[in-house]
């Protein structure tokens, strides 16, 4: 058995219909971006799941470290004044 | 290096007792997240056993999808009508797709596609024993859709809620697509059982062949299941083998009645007290033999997979070479521009 080089990994994003953003649906291997698009069409849109596909080399994605979760996302928990419900408005007043 | 690996690398500098305390704390935190129905994602810390169990389970599942294309592929060229042929092609293509979703989910745990494929071809990885049985007549395609895909759905629906995010997401896609497989199979059986006496006989023989192997698909009884309790605690396994098997029997027996076919089990009868069908003893020796590669067509299946892999080697290499050439040409054009 030859242990040939693996085809690189791509992440696949699909826009299910116009007006919605592309959403991550999974990943696949392909020799290059053109083949990744072809494969994504076959693997992820066999039942009219989309109108547009993005493929991105997985190696090109920079992700946040789960260890930084607290320092990144915790501070927003005590800024409840960023939510409209923080401000009581009398019932008589109409919402905008 | 993934963030979780960075965390492990940092641990290397710590004294042993500090490390042990840290490990206990992490385990407790992990279990608390699982208990609270939080999803675990690939970058999160996880016990090595959880990672290994998932890699084994997801890759076996992927292998089953891929090997599962073979018994049905056998009938694509001989489907009795163009409609049946188009349906079967679509179904087999789905199985290939399901294998790909699952391989991708397993890869997020740090195993490579190449490693998994090599394990399958070397015979060190298992796949569902059901695919080691031959498809002797067209009715077998009906029985497979109805019973094998039916059993697969029963097994898979709970996994849509499993604790590992990528596996749960892959299963959700698969379950959505799988119900067509089951219905087209039942439709074939319905057609045959409403046909000539010979066609009905064909359907009955297919049912006789596939009924017991389908019941084995749920795995050994819970008491003897190797990975049961830990899998339940980790929410990789959500419902016990016996419960799922019973549910499957309860659903399929009335479906067989509707077809006018008889289950090949003299002990099968409705039990008013339990509210379930009681059924005869399963031949677990046969199951063990088939899982270990001693099924009627196990060797043919592996031979077909190895041949596909070897015959495809030049294509995989050529595609990489072509991609490199295209990249070089694009770079050249960019420079010239």
pLDDT band at B70 (very low <50, low <70, confident <90, very high): very high
pLDDT beyond 70 at B64: yes
Mean pLDDT of B115-119: 96
> What is the pLDDT, as a whole number, of residue A1?
40
Separation of alpha carbons B229 and B225, rounded Å:
9
- Mean pLDDT calculated for residue range B39-43: 93
Q: Is the pLDDT of residue B3 over 60?
A: no
Question: Are the C-beta atoms of B143 and B207 separated by less than 8 Å?
Answer: yes
| Residue among B90, B93, B326 whose CB faces A32 most closely | B326
| pLDDT tens digits, B272-310 | 999 999 999 999 999 999 988 889 999 999 999 999 999
Q: Which residue, among B135, B99, B143, B144, has the nearest Cα to B117 in the 3D structure?
A: B99
The whole-angstrom distance between A39's CA and the closest CA on chain B is: 10
pLDDT digits (tens, 9 = 90+) for B152-168: 999 999 999 999 999 99
Helix axes of B149-159 and B197-216: crossing angle, nearest 10 degrees: 30
**Euclidean distance between CA atoms B222 and B103, whole angstroms:** 27
Please give the structure tokens belonging to residue B307: 């041949």
pLDDT score, position B6: 56
pLDDT of residue A2: 43
Interface of B with A (CB under 8 A): 3-4, 6-7, 41, 43-45, 90, 93-94, 97, 100-101, 104, 107, 112-114, 118, 121, 169-170, 173, 177, 309-310, 313, 316-317, 319-320, 322-323, 326-327
CA distance readout (Å), B318 to B23, B304, B321 = 47, 22, 5
CA distance linking residue B319 with residue B155, whole number of Å:
37
Mean pLDDT by 10 residues, chain A (96 residues): 74 94 95 96 92 96 85 83 89 81
DSSP letter at B164 equals B
The pLDDT value recorded for residue B4 is 55
Q: Determine the Cα angle at B110 with ends B57 and A37, to 5°.
A: 95
Q: According to the model, what pLDDT value does residue A57 have?
A: 97
Mean pLDDT of B6-23: 73
**Which residues of chain A lie closer than 8 angstroms to B316, CB-CB?**
4, 7, 31
Nearest CA in chain B to A58: B108
**Interface residue A91 vs chain B (CB under 8 A):** no
Indicate the angle between helix axes B82-107 and B165-193, nearest 10 degrees: 160
Q: What is the mean pLDDT of residues B4-13?
A: 60
**Mean of pLDDT values over B235-247:** 95
Q: What is the DSSP string of chain A?
A: ---PPPPPEEEEEEE-STTS--EEEEEEE-SSHHHHHHHHHHHH-TTS--SEEEEEEGGG-----GGGHHHHHGGGGG-GGGSGGGS---TTSPP-
Lowest-confidence range among A36-40, B198-202, B228-232? Answer: B228-232
Give the C-alpha separation, B298 to B310, whole Å: 18
| pLDDT digit string, tens, across residues B250-265 | 999 999 999 999 999 9
Alpha-carbon span B324 to A6, nearest angstrom:
14
- Nearest CA-CA partner of B129 in B63, B177, B181: B63
| Cβ–Cβ below 8 Å for A27 and B316 | no
From chain A, pick out residues whose CB is under 8 angstroms from the CB of B308: none
Contact B4 A47 (CB under 8 A): no
Asked if pLDDT for residue B209 goes beyond 80, the answer is yes
- Are B72 and B95 in contact by the 8 Å Cβ rule? The answer is yes
For the segment B38-50, the average pLDDT, to the nearest whole number, is: 94
Nearest Cα of chain A lies from the Cα of B189 at a distance, in angstroms, of: 25
Closest partner CB to A2 (pick from B170, B173, B313): B313
Q: What mean pLDDT do residues B13-20 have?
A: 78
CB pairs under 8 A between A and B: 67
> Are B189 and B149 spatial neighbours (Cβ–Cβ below 8 Å)?
no
Residue B304: both structure tokens together: 């077909």
A 37-66 residues inside an 8 A Cβ radius of B: 42-43, 46-47, 63, 65-66
Cα dihedral across residues B11, B15, B16, B19: positive or negative: negative
Least CB-CB distance to B121: which of A1, A34, A43?
A1
Give the bridge partners for B270, in sequence order. Answer: B277
Q: How far is A15 from chain B (nearest CA, A)?
A: 16
Dihedral sign computed on CA atoms, order B289, B295, B300, B301: negative
Choose the closest CB to B3 out of A4, A28, A65: A65
Q: Rg of chain B over CA atoms, in angstroms? A: 23
Q: Do A43 and B316 lie within an 8 Å CB cutoff?
A: no
Helix (H, G, I), strand (E, B), or coil: what is residue B79? coil
Question: Do the Cβ atoms of B118 and A1 come within 8 Å?
Answer: yes
DSSP B293: I
- A3, A27, A35: residue with CB nearest B104: A27
CB atoms B326 and A34 under 8 Å: yes
More confident residue, B19 or B31: B31
Counting every residue, how long is chain A? Answer: 96
């Amino acid at each position: 058995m030859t242990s040939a080089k693996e085809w690189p990994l791509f992440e696949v994003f699909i826009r299910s219909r116009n007006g919605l953003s592309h959403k991550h649906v999974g990943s696949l291997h392909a020799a290059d971006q053109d083949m990744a698009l072809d494969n994504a069409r076959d693997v992820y849109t066999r039942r009219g799941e989309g109108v547009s596909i993005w493929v991105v080399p997985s190696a090109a994605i920079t992700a946040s470290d789960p260890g930084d979760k607290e320092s990144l996302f915790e501070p927003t928990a005590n800024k409840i004044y960023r939510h409209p419900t923080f401000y009581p408005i009398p019932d008589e007043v109409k919402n905008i | 290096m993934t963030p979780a690996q960075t965390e492990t690398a940092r641990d290397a500098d710590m004294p042993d007792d500090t490390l042990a305390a840290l490990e206990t704390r992490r385990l407790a935190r992990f279990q608390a997240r699982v208990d609270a129905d939080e999803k675990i994602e690939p970058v999160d810390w996880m016990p090595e056993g959880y990672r290994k169990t998932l890699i084994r389970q997801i890759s076996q599942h992927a292998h089953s999808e891929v090997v599962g294309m073979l018994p049905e592929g056998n009938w694509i060229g001989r489907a009795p009508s163009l409609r049946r042929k188009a349906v079967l092609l679509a179904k087999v293509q789905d199985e290939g797709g399901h294998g790909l979703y699952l391989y991708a989910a397993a890869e997020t745990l740090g195993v490579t596609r190449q490693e998994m494929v090599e394990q399958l071809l070397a015979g060190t990885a298992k796949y569902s024993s059901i695919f080691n049985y031959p498809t002797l007549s067209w009715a077998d395609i009906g029985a497979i859709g109805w019973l094998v895909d039916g059993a697969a759905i029963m097994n898979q629906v709970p996994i849509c809620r499993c604790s590992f995010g990528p596996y749960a997401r892959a299963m959700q896609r698969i379950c959505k697509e799988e119900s067509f497989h089951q219905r087209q199979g039942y439709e074939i059986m319905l057609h045959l059982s409403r046909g000539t006496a010979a066609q009905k006989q064909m359907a009955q023989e297919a049912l006789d062949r596939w009924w017991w192997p389908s019941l084995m698909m749920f795995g050994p009884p819970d008491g003897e299941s190797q990975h049961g309790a830990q899998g339940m605690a980790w929410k990789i396994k959500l419902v016990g083998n016996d419960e799922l098997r019973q549910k499957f029997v309860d659903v399929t027996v009335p479906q067989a009645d509707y077809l006018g076919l008889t289950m090949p089990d003299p002990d099968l009868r409705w039990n008013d007290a339990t509210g379930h069908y009681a059924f005869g003893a399963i031949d677990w020796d046969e199951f063990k033999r088939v899982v270990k590669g001693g099924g009627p067509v196990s060797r043919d299946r592996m031979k077909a997979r190895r041949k596909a892999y070897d015959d495809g080697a030049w294509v995989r290499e050529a595609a990489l070479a072509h991609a490199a050439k295209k990249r070089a040409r694009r770079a050249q054009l960019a420079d010239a521009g």
